[in-house]
A and B are shown apart, each in its own frame.
Chain A
């Protein structure tokens, strides 16, 4: 057979086979594709699919997102929103900016900075409180904040609250930012970096901190609650236009998150159940990790008192200005819409759910 004929037949055949296999084995992709085509046909700027998508990362700060989705599905057989898992902050943010994920879990200072830059973003709820630790290598001689002088410390992102947390901790220890060396690093890479001692301390959301402890080479220098009680790292943010056009959906979402938060903090059994189903279905992690960080100690991360409060954010604004990531042009009223949280506080109770059906 001639070259051209062989090439043509082989490639066409392969194209059909691989496309059919992909559609069969990865049905999500077909749905995504259909939605993309539909959205392009209707309107180029706003994605209006029936289920709206929420971006999240596989960190405990965003745990309520998969929990709400899972319990929704278990209780009602469906969910009004679709969680989309990202692997890093930039992609999560870009997807939000492009309107593909009209709601997202996001770093609080990043949300404020985006608002300062004119992005239509409103914080409607908090993701969690506390839930961050600073880890050092167990063999290191670092036992107090002061020991970090001259050391290299990894934080997730310049807009992360972990960085602001360090500014606060430094202040408490009468130190300045010049005393340590801050580097940015994606949280999944932090455990390996600490293990190989290429950094002296790491600080990000769980479960990456707990992982180093669990694997036996990390030691907690301090937990968030020691330095900044009721620390906020991530918030739930929604696009302005979606708040306008889909109030009931947003309210349902916030209610769901609130219910999940209360459910998680209601009993350790719930937390263990969540550790199992979230690890298996959403994070693709070993459940031991989530079990560890959700229980040792139990107040390492908390999911109640999630209404955004002005004093908390004023502190973030202040530290943000100090650390040079915020200009101070956006204020609480500009970037927070507390109405959904207030309504949720009124009527949202913990889920009546005792673990997945066998």
Chain B
């Protein structure tokens, strides 16, 4: 019996020794990973600057003016204040969307009758832009933080629900059968098999939804709140010729969006879900 143990493992389909964690050879050109995007950014800034210079626009700001605008916002202490406000609203709106969307999506994915009942309504609500909800948000929640949180929630809850539903529906039947074979049913079946099997796709949905949530922050902060990056943009439009601040707000939204995406992408590296993504 021990002969098998002593033997080397059968020739694996993958070439690397499967015992070692998936080989991460040191890429000799790792620095390119940072340098290439930076190069693109520099070229973009240069093109932007040149375009404004050539057109001799008196309204559109040049990159340096935007940088000065950002410095001005930092000096006034506004930048941190606005970023915190926007992140606060997105955190709550998006967090609530996850709390509602994931269980609801799993529920719809599992019970096909519930899916039949709810899906048309979801598809009706889903394409409605958060901007269209602004009057409703004001009428219900007034001019507090809750109105933008509500809008961000609405924008992100549908992608999350839909992805969770699809994740359960597309789950490989073999996992379900294996679990049922071991006598699992009800809540343990959900917790130990359905949820983990659906998790990779749910996380992809969450990543997309976070992008959407961050996308609608400008629209959500059109409501009379007095802080936030979206507010910064709308406020700067009111402030006469301060398009440098408008673009500064855009730049900050973009940069933070990038950071958020990188953070969520890290989730995909966890062993529990990494199997669900190709080439990882």
Contact = CB atoms under 8 A, between A and B. Distances in A.
A84 interface: yes
Given A18-B91, A32-B144, A216-B58, A91 B138 contact: yes
Interface in B214-273: 222-227, 234-235, 237-243, 267, 270-273
B58 A195 contact: yes
Interface in B182-223: 199, 222-223
Contacts of A62: none
B58 A95 contact: no
A172 B266 CA distance: 68
B241 A25 contact: no
Contacts of B139: 94, 97-98
Given A95-B143, A207-B240, A211-B241, A25 B84 contact: yes
Given A15-B91, A195-B59, A286 B146 contact: no
A47 B261 CA distance: 40
A215 interface: yes
A27 B74 CA distance: 19
A100 interface: yes
Contacts of A285: 238-240, 242
B151 to A, nearest CB: 12
Interface string B145-158: 11000000000000
B235 to A, nearest CB: 6
Contacts of B18: none
A179 interface: no
Contacts of A47: 142
B143 A32 contact: yes
Interface residues of A, number: 55
Listed residue (A15, A21, A97) with the most chain B CB atoms within 10 angstroms of its CB: A21
Nearest to B145: A29
Interface stretch (A141-149, A186-194, A300-308): A186-194
A88 to B, nearest CB: 7
Interface string A187-226: 0110110011000000000011001001111000000000
B134 interface: yes
A18 B84 contact: yes
Contacts of A7: 267
Contact of B267 (A3, A18, A33, A216): A3
B85 A100 contact: no
Given A33-B145, A189-B237, A191-B241, A21 B84 contact: yes
Contacts of B243: 192
A26 B224 contact: no
Interface string A281-318: 00111100100000000000000000000000000000
A158 interface: no
B244 to A, nearest CB: 12
Interface string A60-101: 000000000000000000000000111110111011011011
Interface string A264-275: 000000000000
Contacts of B242: 285-286
A25 B85 contact: yes
A101 B143 CA distance: 9
Interface in A1-27: 2-4, 6-7, 11, 14-15, 18-19, 21-22, 25-26
Contacts of B271: 3
B88 interface: yes
B143 A283 contact: no
Nearest to B81: A25
B80 interface: yes
B141 interface: yes
B87 interface: yes
Contacts of B81: 25-26
Interface string B72-91: 00000000110011011001
Contacts of A101: 143
B238 A284 contact: yes
A85 B84 contact: no
Contact of A211 (B87, B92, B223, B240): B240
Nearest to B141: A36
B103 interface: no
A58 interface: yes
B222 A87 contact: yes
Q: Which of A22, A47, A95 has the most CB of B within 10 A?
A: A22
B91 A100 contact: no
Given A33-B145, A87-B235, A88-B222, A95 B138 contact: yes
Contacts of A29: 85, 144-145, 225, 227
Residue from the set A84, A97, A217, A284 with the largest chain B CB neighbour count within 10 Å: A284
B95 interface: yes
A196 B243 CA distance: 14
Given A2-B272, A19-B88, A101-B143, A90 B238 contact: no
A217 B272 CA distance: 61
A334 interface: no
Contacts of B240: 191, 207-208, 211, 214, 285-286, 289
Closest 3 CB pairs of A and B: A100-B142, A22-B88, A3-B270
Given A208-B240, A211-B240, A289-B240, 7 more contacts: A6-B270, A11-B95, A91-B223, A191-B59, A192-B59, A195-B59, A214-B240
5 contacts: A19-B92, A26-B226, A32-B144, A90-B134, A98-B142
